[in-house]
Structure 1
């Protein structure tokens, strides 16, 4: 049997892929609610906790380009099974780890799985589904990944209330096992039928450059943007990536085809995906802290109150897909960005007296915009790619999203910190309490309770809301400008170049006896 657009197993295979990316989504955020418990149980300091979160992001960004190219060359199903195997093993190690170093290492290996699964899962769709069905398939994966991210705090909060901290990792094991069995049985193998020679130089340069760049971006909010480590890492990363681009343009058989950026559909759909991710991560950076610290909800209740964002995304993704099928990509992508801008713009008016109904409404609007824009943007990327290059091409846009998302969180985090620190009133407080209050709202509320100063808590809440408003305004402006740019520059219909360059599904498939 060969991979084809009429394979009856393709929808079951899509369900398996959706389950896998759902896990990746909540693994991005599930750690956040568990950090206080892990800090106590393993006696971990702030630096160690930060690296438990950042090791995952750093490995994803550093390896995604390489993993996408490997899937094209050696087989996407094979690479997915390897990734899910690593995911299960590393999750088990993290669950029973007795040191911070082991948890950090396990999270890094989980990042390898994410670096494989994100681009390869989307690349498989190009071989399984024809243009008429691919939009629906893309919207399923976008919903899986998008829904998983805000589900992290809900799942994590429930598990921490009922089990030990390692359960947040152990939940991955049955999902990885079911996903691996389903992919092995249901997903036909697909790869580039004429693979290029391995581009070792490109793999090394891209990994080193992206890792250095993202490391600098991650460290910037803590160390400061002018710190020598931050400046050195970002500068080194940019220089190495410039060398990577020069290498890819010169080498005879490059790992990725940078000429894809000459296609307006690929370029502007990728840009739209980055900017939607920027908006979503901006929301998920500030809103959970607002719900937990200002509104006073516990982690589980905080996660549950993010459900309107999920609901909006679940409605928005298929809506965007249907619009794209009728009127092309430009309308749903630009409209989704405009809806996102409107939602977070309204959210910037949130104050201490705002009820949850108001917050739920603008979260739902923002989620609707995210879903409307992200699903057709990813479909447009896939449509602009020759099927045999779907892995490496998708890896480019996914890497841009991860790197842009990390940069966005760092920039928005700095904006939040500046807005908060400039407004919190620490006059007359003991030095230790004042320092804790200026560092974060969590520190301010703890200090206020310890020294019996309710006025400090009131000031900290107002200061945080001021910082959150600045972040949401910046996000709204970014999304609004992005809506205008994509409305102007993103082609409304499939690119003729992509149709000419795309090979038939039979050209990218392999027989079952070879795949198995």
Structure 2
């Protein structure tokens, strides 16, 4: 069996993977700044705009488990090239689409490409890097994905100021081409040498259950948690996923090995990753609206003012990797969650008189905590997996993060909405204007401008800050409790720097010369 631990090309291959996940990161958020422009250009309503965003998220959440297992079975390099191809072609189709339905369909295919690339990119690291180097490689990919998410509004704002709305999709095409060429040339093939039989029913159940669950969660903030369109899909998703778990535990060759959750290191590292994602997406849900609607910045200015969050993450990820190498996974993961809790707790004191310097400081602190915790948590997951299960095992963690992130945004969105509408003063407004103002701060400011009512705008600003404080307090409590639980329950030390390799004896890397 040939490994690639000494192949100097592995670092160039890592750079190609980093470019790919960076693109996937900013595509999660780049749509948000483009929606008003797309609504005007394509003459579409709110429902179509929501589907342009949600189609991407739904497909990722629904198919990541299946795609991770396919990478283990059919070859991770092959799956990465397929994923990049789908992502690039669908991005070009979305850029030149002339109707909302085409954009939605293209976004769904982009989600399929992302569902392939996200778990497989991390799984490849187990074959490319030995224990002594894997932590650095993981922190690099975590930085790429983490930086990409807040980078979306910056890139989107710049492109919309200088080009047409389709440019936010077209930018993916050259990146996909460059990434595909680099991966084709530099990345060796790796797969499970003794793959299990295809688990078709497991794939169907996981896809249907996750898609239904995440759809219901996404609909909850707008429709309410008691609406049939929310309860029905969530209930159906839970039932189907229960059936999926029962099937996976009894079938001879399951798509994913649920017994991995019996390993405390895999279980608690996965949970930590979910909770860090919860905090990060909570920040990215409330802070851009604060910067745009309360502080008065445009889309590009809002994106630029998120850079301290990126800076903290860039500093934190390698620091977490170095700390894990010396002290074990538990220390950086719990410390990072504690720092994240401190950052967002400080942010809860933001008021109308707060300077941007204050906001930048707590954003940087939160970013530092995210970086310190997330890279070691992901490395701990990989360290707990035999290499032949790296794709399916990583897919479990990434799916949990995606689903938990969607649930977190929905819960925090509901909390923000309740806090905002409860504090907003709409006394004396026409009924229609009052309803519009209660729906969102954007609606309140539009109504204030239309009615010439500065008092409504002031009330909306204060009400939004109240809602944002509630969200940040909830995120701080969650991160703080997570830090405590991780400190108590996450075991294990990294293998980095040791003289042993925990790869399964079944693991294999197919030499490049044998490809084709």
TM norm. shorter chain > 0.5: yes
Q: Which residue is 2:345 aligned to?
A: 345
Confirm whether residue 398 of structure 1 aligns to residue 398 of structure 2.
yes
Secondary structure of the corresponding residue to residue 509 of structure 1: strand
Q: Which residue is 1:139 aligned to?
A: 139
Map 1:45-84 → 2, pairs under 5 A? 45-84=45-84
Q: TM-score under structure 2 normalisation?
A: 0.98
Confirm whether residue 408 of structure 1 aligns to residue 408 of structure 2.
yes
Q: For the residues of structure 1 that align with 2:331 and 2:81, how far apart are their CA atoms?
A: 37
Residues 454 and 47 of structure 1: CA distance in aligned 2, closer, same or farther (over 3 Å): same
Q: For the residues of structure 1 that align with 2:515 and 2:373, how far apart are their CA atoms?
A: 35
Q: Which residue is 1:502 aligned to?
A: 503
Give the superposition deviation at 1:514: 3.5
Q: What is the aligned residue count?
A: 512
Q: For the residues of structure 1 that align with 2:13 and 2:130, how far apart are their CA atoms?
A: 15
Spell out, residue by residue over 1:451-490, the C-alpha distance to the aligned partner (whole angstroms, 9 max, x if none).
1000000000000000000000000000000000000000
Q: For the residues of structure 2 that align with 1:278 and 1:379, how far apart are their CA atoms?
A: 19
Q: Which residue is 2:315 aligned to?
A: 315
Work out whether residues 265 and 494 of structure 1, in 8 Å CA contact, stay in contact via their aligned partners in 2.
Answer: no
Q: Which residue is 1:326 aligned to?
A: 326
Work out whether residues 274 and 400 of structure 1, in 8 Å CA contact, stay in contact via their aligned partners in 2.
Answer: yes
Give the superposition deviation at 1:69: 0.2
Confirm whether residue 14 of structure 1 aligns to residue 14 of structure 2.
yes
Work out whether residues 220 and 230 of structure 1, in 8 Å CA contact, stay in contact via their aligned partners in 2.
Answer: yes
Q: For the residues of structure 2 that align with 1:292 and 1:488, how far apart are their CA atoms?
A: 40
Q: Which residue is 2:153 aligned to?
A: 153
Q: For the residues of structure 2 that align with 1:479 and 1:136, how far apart are their CA atoms?
A: 24
Give the superposed CA RMSD: 1.2
Work out whether residues 2 and 188 of structure 1, in 8 Å CA contact, stay in contact via their aligned partners in 2.
Answer: no
Give the superposition deviation at 1:494: 4.5
Q: For the residues of structure 1 that align with 2:208 and 2:2, how far apart are their CA atoms?
A: 37
Q: For the residues of structure 1 that align with 2:512 and 2:41, how far apart are their CA atoms?
A: 49
Q: For the residues of structure 2 that align with 1:493 and 1:501, how far apart are their CA atoms?
A: 12
Q: For the residues of structure 2 that align with 1:377 and 1:470, how far apart are their CA atoms?
A: 27
Work out whether residues 386 and 503 of structure 1, in 8 Å CA contact, stay in contact via their aligned partners in 2.
Answer: yes
Secondary structure of the corresponding residue to residue 324 of structure 1: helix
Give the superposition deviation at 1:501: 6.5
Secondary structure of the corresponding residue to residue 225 of structure 1: coil
Give the superposition deviation at 1:331: 0.2
Secondary structure of the corresponding residue to residue 337 of structure 2: helix
Q: For the residues of structure 2 that align with 1:165 and 1:508, how far apart are their CA atoms?
A: 45
Q: For the residues of structure 2 that align with 1:94 and 1:420, how far apart are their CA atoms?
A: 35
Q: For the residues of structure 2 that align with 1:515 and 1:414, how far apart are their CA atoms?
A: 51
Q: Which residue is 1:42 aligned to?
A: 42
Secondary structure of the corresponding residue to residue 390 of structure 2: helix
Q: Which residue is 1:31 aligned to?
A: 31
Spell out, residue by residue over 1:201-227, the C-alpha distance to the aligned partner (whole angstroms, 9 max, x if none).
100000000000001101111111011
Secondary structure of the corresponding residue to residue 190 of structure 1: strand
Secondary structure of the corresponding residue to residue 191 of structure 2: coil
Q: Which residue is 1:230 aligned to?
A: 230
Work out whether residues 384 and 494 of structure 1, in 8 Å CA contact, stay in contact via their aligned partners in 2.
Answer: no
Q: For the residues of structure 1 that align with 2:432 and 2:515, how far apart are their CA atoms?
A: 63
Work out whether residues 3 and 189 of structure 1, in 8 Å CA contact, stay in contact via their aligned partners in 2.
Answer: no
Give the superposition deviation at 1:2: 3.8
Q: For the residues of structure 2 that align with 1:96 and 1:415, how far apart are their CA atoms?
A: 38
Work out whether residues 348 and 469 of structure 1, in 8 Å CA contact, stay in contact via their aligned partners in 2.
Answer: yes
Map 1:161-200 → 2, pairs under 5 A? 161-200=161-200
Q: TM-score under structure 1 normalisation?
A: 0.98
Deviates more, 1:393-402 or 1:485-494: 485-494
Long gaps (5+) in structure 2: none
Q: For the residues of structure 2 that align with 1:138 and 1:459, how far apart are their CA atoms?
A: 45
Give the superposition deviation at 1:512: 2.5
Q: Which residue is 2:301 aligned to?
A: 301
Secondary structure of the corresponding residue to residue 189 of structure 2: coil
Q: Which residue is 1:107 aligned to?
A: 107
Q: For the residues of structure 2 that align with 1:7 and 1:494, how far apart are their CA atoms?
A: 22
Map 1:256-295 → 2, pairs under 5 A? 256-295=256-295
Work out whether residues 91 and 110 of structure 1, in 8 Å CA contact, stay in contact via their aligned partners in 2.
Answer: yes
Q: For the residues of structure 1 that align with 2:290 and 2:512, how far apart are their CA atoms?
A: 52
Q: For the residues of structure 2 that align with 1:13 and 1:476, how far apart are their CA atoms?
A: 37
Q: For the residues of structure 2 that align with 1:262 and 1:6, how far apart are their CA atoms?
A: 33
Q: For the residues of structure 2 that align with 1:313 and 1:324, how far apart are their CA atoms?
A: 16
Secondary structure of the corresponding residue to residue 314 of structure 1: helix
Q: Which residue is 2:456 aligned to?
A: 456
Map 1:379-398 → 2, pairs under 5 A? 379-398=379-398
Secondary structure of the corresponding residue to residue 97 of structure 1: coil
Work out whether residues 3 and 190 of structure 1, in 8 Å CA contact, stay in contact via their aligned partners in 2.
Answer: no
Give the superposition deviation at 1:500: 8.7
Q: For the residues of structure 2 that align with 1:83 and 1:482, how far apart are their CA atoms?
A: 34
Q: For the residues of structure 2 that align with 1:437 and 1:329, how far apart are their CA atoms?
A: 47
Q: For the residues of structure 1 that align with 2:240 and 2:501, how far apart are their CA atoms?
A: 34
Q: For the residues of structure 2 that align with 1:278 and 1:83, how far apart are their CA atoms?
A: 26
